[in-house]
Amino acid sequence: MSSKSSNESNSDLPKSPFWEEPDALALREGFWLPTCLLDSAASFRQNFQAREGDVVLASPIKTGTTWLMAIAHSLLHKPKSNDANNADALASNNPHSLVPTVEFELWSPTTTVNIFDPTSPRLLHTHLPFSLLPASLSASKIVYIARGPEDTLISMWHYFNAVAAPVPLEKAVECFCSGAHPFGPFDRHVAEYWLETRRRPEKVLFVKYEDMKREPGREVSRIAEFLGRPVAAEGEVEEILWRCSLERLKNLEVNAAGHAAYFRKGEVRDGKNYLTPEMGDRIHRSVGVKLEALGLFFSDRR
């Protein structure tokens, strides 16, 4: 995290294609950012003044962002009545509409969210790496979600093939292993937040998608406590898990058009269904070993 202003010119930055789009990414301080988001990322870093109580969710792409958004929003905006339908914001809003991703909002010409406005939502999300966050966020609570590299890559492949011209899996593996994908390299993104959670566990909570799948109740309670909103009432965790479940959200009308690509299978080890052993080895050598060195996401490919 730094307050250093970014005075490099965007056109001087190294560029990379992504999927079929030339110069889609630009390398800023070791991370590949979508070229269209360079200005908004710099503006966020330079101008955002965090306030007490702000909560920031952070993630690489395709690691469970949508799920975390739904859960954090549910925890911070608990329904005031027992009328589930009236009180449940998720019934009529996609989680991404409830928790704005700052770099997208600052870039979008049609945004309705002004993150510099003190009355704007203070539950925000970013895909930016820790080292590119505004310095003022050092006092804020950050919840980060990560996921094993193979499943992240396969989720990314399905997602971008659904929203852009499809590419073969070999090309997606190459992109992922080279680190030249939005907000990559993946291992470095994860490592930065992991080191920060070790340094300041009271400010940065590290959540793994796999743990959320295995022990969702325990993980939701952990997030709730971290956010200072412990779940006390009996059945409350189960209620939140139901509200935020993939099965429910996927079938809501509000998530059908335009948002369907966010909701797919949500399975752990789905990567194994697609990757050849050679691809798995390649991912392990390029990305996995660096995460294992941190004690994270051990693979069975060793």
By CB neighbour count within 10 A (0-12 exposed, 13-18 middle, 19+ buried), where does 119 fall? exposed
Q: Which of 73, 77, 125, 127 is catalytic?
A: 127
User: Measured between alpha carbons, how far is residue 83 from residues 2, 87, 237 in Å?
Assistant: 45, 6, 17
The sign of the dihedral angle between the CA atoms of 28, 145, 121, 85 is positive
Least distance CB 42 / ligand A3P (angstroms): 23
Contacting residues for 247 by C-beta, under 8 A, at least 6 apart: none
Site track 3-42 with ligand A3P (rule: CB under 6 A), x = hit: ----------------------------------------
C-beta closer to ligand A3P: residue 268 or 289: 268
- Quote the CA–CA distance of 288 and 299 in Å, as a whole number: 7
Q: Does 218 bind ligand A3P (CB under 6 A)?
A: no
Q: Does 297 bind ligand A3P (CB under 6 A)?
A: no
Judged by phi (left if over 0) then psi (alpha if -120 to 50, else beta), residue 295 lies in left
Site track 50-89 with ligand A3P (rule: CB under 6 A), x = hit: ---------x-xxxxxxx--x-------------------
Least distance CB 197 / ligand A3P (angstroms): 18
Least distance CB 35 / ligand A3P (angstroms): 20
Element (H, E) at 55: strand 55-58
Least distance CB 201 / ligand A3P (angstroms): 23
Partners of residue 34 on adjacent β-strands = 25
Q: Does 188 bind ligand A3P (CB under 6 A)?
A: no
- The residue among 143, 166, 129 whose CA lies nearest residue 261 is 166
Residues in 234-273 that interact with ligand A3P by CB under 6 A = 244-246, 249, 262-266, 270
Size of the site for ligand A3P (CB under 6 A): 22
Active-site residue, 77 included:
no
- What secondary structure does DSSP assign to 122-167, as a single string? SEEEE-S-GGGS-GGGGGSEEEEEE--HHHHHHHHHHHHHHHS---
C-beta closer to ligand A3P: residue 158 or 290: 158
Which residue in the set 16, 74, 101, 155 belongs to the binding site for ligand A3P (CB under 6 A)?
155
Q: What angle do CA 163, 104, 250 make, to 5 degrees?
A: 50
Q: Does 176 bind ligand A3P (CB under 6 A)?
A: no
- The residue among 63, 21, 32 whose CA lies nearest residue 271 is 63
C-beta closer to ligand A3P: residue 42 or 142: 142
Least distance CB 184 / ligand A3P (angstroms): 14
C-beta closer to ligand A3P: residue 122 or 248: 248
3-state secondary structure of 82: coil
> Do the Cβ atoms of 16 and 180 come closer than 8 Å?
yes
C-beta closer to ligand A3P: residue 241 or 291: 241
C-beta closer to ligand A3P: residue 42 or 144: 144
Q: In 187-302, at which residue ranges do the beta strands (DSSP E only) sit?
A: 204-208
Least distance CB 6 / ligand A3P (angstroms): 26
List residues near ligand A3P by CB under 6 A: 59, 61-67, 70, 151, 155, 158, 244-246, 249, 262-266, 270
Catalytic sites, residue numbers: 127
